[in-house]
């Protein structure tokens, strides 16, 4: 599994940026995406996918221990939907690996 440190190293290798500069760029990028999503703005990266806020409505739930029914309050979560281009690249890679 890759983490932010791995992304920073990869960016540094592929550009003229140092790892310290790459780290600043990555951190700022993540902050910008976070701020936009929190403000309920969809962040769409062409050829990659989109990040968006998904609003869950209230719904009944049951406590498995007591069998008591409760109403779950409405809440929001962040969702990511990959682009068709990314999906196709993953599909192609999976097919190549299975051969």
- Per the structure, the complete domain to which residue 92 belongs is given by 40-99
Neighbouring CB atoms inside 10 A of 45's CB total 11
Question: Do 93 and 47 share a structural domain?
Answer: yes
Question: Do 44 and 34 share a structural domain?
Answer: no
**DSSP code of residue 65:** T
Mean pLDDT of 9-37: 97
Question: Do 16 and 49 share a structural domain?
Answer: no
* Contact by Cβ (8 Å): 29, 11: no
Question: Do 91 and 50 share a structural domain?
Answer: yes
Tell me the pLDDT tens digit for each residue of 75-91: 999 999 999 999 999 99
Claim: this prediction has a pTM higher than 0.85 = no
Distance, in Å, from the CA atom of 71 to the CA atom of 30, rounded to the nearest integer, reads 34
Number of structural domains in the chain: 2
Question: Do 27 and 11 share a structural domain?
Answer: yes
Question: Do 12 and 32 share a structural domain?
Answer: yes
Tell me the pLDDT tens digit for each residue of 27-81: 999 999 999 999 999 999 999 999 999 999 999 999 999 999 999 999 999 999 9
In the structure encoding, which two tokens stand for residue 98, read together?
Answer: 């299975």
């Amino acid at each position: 599994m890759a983490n932010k440190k791995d992304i920073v190293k990869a960016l540094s290798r592929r550009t003229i940026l140092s790892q310290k500069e790459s780290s600043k760029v990555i951190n700022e990028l993540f902050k910008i995406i976070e701020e936009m999503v929190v403000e309920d703005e969809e962040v769409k990266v062409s050829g990659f996918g989109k990040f968006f806020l998904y609003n869950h409505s209230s719904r009944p739930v049951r406590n498995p221990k007591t069998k008591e029914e409760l109403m779950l309050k409405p809440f929001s979560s962040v969702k990511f939907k990959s682009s068709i281009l990314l999906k196709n690249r993953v599909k192609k890679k999976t097919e190549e690996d299975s051969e």
